Amino acid sequence: MGARRSGREAALQMLFQLEASGATAPQTIELFWRASADADFEPDPEGRLYADTIVRGVAHSLAAVDARIAAASQNWRLERMSRVDRNLLRMGTWELMEQKDVPRPVVIDEAVELAKSYGTEDSSGFVNGVLDRIATDLGRTGEAKADAKGADGAKGGGKGAR
């Protein structure tokens, strides 16, 4: 598993915890890594940094991120989405908005893979469709998969990533 993939997985868990607990992003990050250390989980330093960046970024830009998701998710209010789907969409939307060095296919594919692991049977298709629309709305089009592998250290391929 690549550093950014493990970072995204940790970020999803922290975003879930952040929303459930009502704690601040710095508190959530500190508690998450303390609990991870207690469980003898030693994260990759780059993955940890990326996870922290995502959590802080989403928390800081939550209103703008949620507005993008609401505009792209036809007939689905944010509060009606599952907590996993909502936080995957927040993470992916923030990456599409702010992490221009990470190609569109990588952001979408990584979110879809996490949806398959943590969401429901329908989560991966839902997350894929909403993030694809957000990427298009942001003008993130025409990004080749060949570029995706080098920019993120992860494979950029996957079902329906464009």
- The rounded percent of the chain whose pLDDT value lies above 90 is 70
pLDDT in tens, 119-151: 999 999 999 999 999 999 999 987 655 343 334
pLDDT score for 97: 97
Mean pLDDT of 79-107: 96
pLDDT score for 102: 94
pLDDT score for 3: 81
pLDDT score for 41: 67
Domains of the chain: 3-152 (1.10.940.10)
The letter for the amino acid at 62 is L
Query: Any residues with CB less than 8 A from the CB of 63 and at least 6 apart, and which?
Result: none
pLDDT score for 1: 58
pLDDT in tens, 48-82: 999 999 999 999 999 999 999 999 998 888 989 99
The span from the CA of 138 to the CA of 131, in Å, is: 10
DSSP 17-43: HHHHH---HHHHHHHHHHHHHHTT---
Residue 153 has pLDDT above 70, yes or no: no
pLDDT score for 45: 84
Residue 40 has pLDDT above 70, yes or no: no
Mean pLDDT across the chain, nearest whole number? 86
Of the pLDDT bands very low, low, confident and very high (cuts 50, 70, 90), residue 37 is confident
pLDDT score for 76: 86
